[in-house]
Structure 1
Amino acid sequence: MSSAKSKTLATWIALLGGGLGLHRLYLHGGRDPWAWAFWPPTLIGVVGVLRMRSLGQDDMLSWALIPWLGLSLSAAMLSAIVIGLTPDERWTARFAAGHAQRPSGWGAVLGVITALLLGGMVLMGTIAFGGQKFFEWQQQSEAAAAR
C-alpha cells in the first residue's frame, strides 16, 4: 500500500458507493476482482427497476432482476459495517502500516449506524418483494392451471 487509508472514509464510501464496489477500489485499487464483482448484480437490478417502471409491476423478468440490486446494496452495507467495526489497531496494520493514524472516532460509528439502518431496510424490502412476487406468480400459475 502506498498511502494510508482512512477507516472512516472507507466506511462512508462503502455506504454511499458500495453497490458499485467503490470501497474496494479505494482500499485495494483497480486490480481487485471483488471490486468489479459488485457491478453486474447492481446493474442487473437497475435494469429490473427500469423495466418495472416502464412495463409495470406485471413484468415477470423485473421480478427476477430487482432482487439483485437489493442483494448488492445489502452486501455493500455489510461491508460498511465490517469496515467501520474493524479495530483501529488492526486497520492500521493492514491499511496504514508505517503511518501515524488517529482513532477513527464518531465518523466511523455514525457510518456503521447508517449502514445498519439502510442495510436492514434494503434486505427486508428485498425479501418482502421477492416473497410477494413469488406468491403472486404461484397464484397466477394455479389460476392458469384451473382454466
Structure 2
Amino acid sequence: MRLKNKTLATWLTFFGGPLGLHRFYLRGFGDLMGWLLPIPTALGLYGIERVQTYGQDDLWSWLLIPMLGFAIAACALMAIIYGLMTPEKWNARFNPGADPEALPGRTNWFTVVGIAVALMVGTAVLMASLAFSFQRYFEYQIEEARKISQ
C-alpha cells in the first residue's frame, strides 16, 4: 500500500480539485464525490461560454458561472484543511497502519506555500463569484421592476 502524501494532496486539491483529482488520489476511483465534482465545474464553464455567446444579460450565465467559482473556492478550502492537518490526524485518516509521525503526513515549506496560495486564490475566486452573482441578480430585479412599472 502506498502512503498518501499531504503536500501532494494539498496541491492536487488546489489545482485538480474541481475535477475531483484529489478525491481519486486519496480515496480511489470508487469515490462518488470525485465523479460528481466535475459537474458544477462543467456547468460553470458552460456559463462562461454562454456569456461569450449571448452577452452579459443572459439569465442562465449568472446562475451557472458562480458554480465554477464555488467549486474552485471549496477545493481551495479543502486544500487548506488538508495542509493544516497534523501528521497524526493525516496518517490516521489517509495512511492507516502507518506510524503517526510518518513522513508523508508531515508539513514542509511546499505545503505551507500551497496553503497560502489556496487561501489567496480561493478567497479571490469566492469574492468574485459572489460579486458577479449578486450584481447580476440585482440587475435582473431592476429590469423586471422596470418591466412591471411600464
Whether TM exceeds 0.5 here: the answer is yes
Q: Tell me the secondary structure at the aligned position of residue 8 of structure 1.
A: helix
What is the aligned partner in structure 2 of residue 139 from structure 1? 142
AA partner of residue 62 (structure 2): W
1:54-88: per-residue Cα shift (whole Å, max 9, x none)?
21101111111111111111111111011001101
Unaligned runs of at least 5 residues, structure 2: none
Matched, 1:43 2:42: yes
Partner AA of 1:131 in structure 2 = F
> Where do 1:1-147 residues align within 5 Å?
2-96=1-95, 97-98=97-98, 100-101=102-103, 103-147=106-150
Which stretches in structure 1 are left out of the alignment for 5+ residues?
Answer: none
**Number of corresponding residues:** 146
Q: Percent of aligned pairs with the same residue?
A: 42
Give secondary structure in 1 for the equivalent of 2:103.
Answer: coil
- What is the alpha-carbon root mean square deviation over aligned residues? 1.2
Equivalent-residue separation in structure 2 for 1:53 and 1:31 (angstroms): 36
Partner of 1:27: helix, strand, or coil?
helix
TM-score, normalised via structure 2 length? 0.92
Provide the rounded CA distance (Å) in 2 between the counterparts of 1:25 and 1:68. Answer: 21
- Could you say what secondary structure the match of 1:69 adopts? helix
Q: Find runs of 4+ consecutive structure 1 residues off by over 4 angstroms.
A: none
Residue identity in the other structure for 1:117: M
TM-score for the superposition, normalised by structure 1: 0.94
- Distance in 1 (alpha carbons) for counterparts of 2:118 and 2:62: 25
Q: What letter corresponds to residue 115 of structure 2 in structure 1? A: V
